[in-house]
Amino acid sequence: MIGNELKKRSHLLRCPQVRGQRELGHLPPAEAGDLAFRIFCTPEQSQHRTRDHHRLTQRARYHLRDATWQQVATPAGAVQSYMFEPDGETRGTVMLVHGWTSEAAFMTAFIEPLRRAGFRVVLFDFPVHGVSPGRRTNLADCARAMLSVCDAFGPINAAVGHSFGGFVTLLATEAGPPLPRAHPISRFVLIGCPNRLSDVTGDFGDQLGLTPAGQRAYEQHLERVGHRPVSTFSAVDLLKTVKTPTLVIRGSSDREVPFHNAEAIANIGGHVELQKYEGFGHRTILYAPQVVRAAMTYLAADRVRHAPQRHVSHHSASML
């Protein structure tokens, strides 16, 4: 029974894997849960950061050279922000929100199309990501930081969130725990966004060999900082609350966030559209010209007040 559950969970979501071999099942549950929480909240220990991560980030940061750099004070500490003004009159402000273990520099493919369309573009590094200082962070702190950046540059009219960044974006606009209030955003593009945090934490616990008691101790730490049960951190539930028009984008070769996550999010109602792109993985999709165009078109279009009928579009790399 346990073996079947682990096999089932492995097909749900691949969370940030742990560098090195760790087995916490032999520890007392409270100690194992505490250590798991600390590892989970330390982005640099994720195996999603490849050996050439430093070289790739230095190359990506080159595209931020023309931004206005500004540190923003947040409840989670100072974070680095980047702002690009449009050439002409401003149509609004779009925020780009990166994923876990990533940074703003990896979202820069969206900047020029949005800027040329008349949007001011704002990006920021999560706490303990990019050039924002610190050692450990968590979902709640990232959401608090985003809310502060929204306040500094707002109003924010639309947001493009990748992976974990999509989750953070939804939290920042929901007005529920762990945030005291929300920053209204009128349109989302969610790329490779997971649906349930419990899938992430469950897979992470499996990697560390946590016992059921250790898993519960670990998740209690997350609930302590998030001020809500892990089970309620769901993109579906958050979008049902905010009811914001949303474009969900997913790559067919994404091995970290399976397609059913996107389907579950898109199935909640007519205010959500789903587009699937063949041949792109969880990170390579951020550099696909057709994906950038789709996001820009969705954000730039004058939308009708009534939500469109939900539909799924399929696109291949060769046809776009």
Q: Is residue 317 part of a domain?
A: no
pTM above 0.75, yes or no: yes
Q: Is residue 316 part of a domain?
A: no
Q: Is residue 148 part of a domain?
A: yes
Retrieve residue 310's tokens: 């939900």
Q: What is the pLDDT of residue 100?
A: 93
Which positions ≥6 away from 302 have C-beta within 8 Å? none
Are the C-beta atoms of 256 and 169 separated by less than 8 Å?
no
Q: Is residue 86 part of a domain?
A: yes
Q: Is residue 11 part of a domain?
A: yes
**What is the domain count for the chain?**
1
What stretch of H or E contains 3? Answer: helix 2-10
Q: Is residue 319 part of a domain?
A: no
Q: What is the pLDDT of residue 77?
A: 96
Alpha carbon distance 273, 58 (integer Å): 35
Q: What is the pLDDT of residue 174?
A: 93
Are the C-beta atoms of 46 and 136 separated by less than 8 Å?
no
Are the C-beta atoms of 19 and 45 separated by less than 8 Å?
yes
- Structural domain including 170 reads 2-302
Retrieve residue 190's tokens: 């969610």
Query: What are the beta bridge partners of residue 97?
Result: 161
Q: What is the domain-level CATH number for residue 273? A: 3.40.50.1820
Q: Is residue 247 part of a domain?
A: yes
Edge-first strand listing for the sheet containing 312-315: 68-72, 79-84, 119-124, 92-97, 158-162, 187-191, 246-251, 272-277, 312-315
Q: What stretches of 20-163 show up as alpha helix (H) in DSSP? A: 29-40, 53-61, 111-116, 139-153
In order along its 320 residues, the chain shows pLDDT tens digits of 333 433 333 344 444 455 455 789 999 999 999 999 999 999 887 655 666 777 888 899 999 999 999 999 999 999 999 999 998 899 999 999 999 999 999 999 999 999 999 999 999 999 999 999 999 999 999 999 999 999 999 999 999 999 999 999 999 999 899 999 999 999 999 999 999 999 999 999 999 999 999 999 999 999 999 999 999 999 999 999 999 999 999 999 999 999 999 999 999 988 999 999 999 999 999 999 999 999 999 998 754 333 333 345 666 554 34
Q: What is the pLDDT of residue 316?
A: 59
Dihedral of CA atoms 122, 263, 258, 165 in degrees, nearest 10, equals 20
Residue where the block lists tokens 């390579």: 284
Q: Is residue 268 part of a domain?
A: yes
Give the three-class secondary structure for 142.
Answer: helix
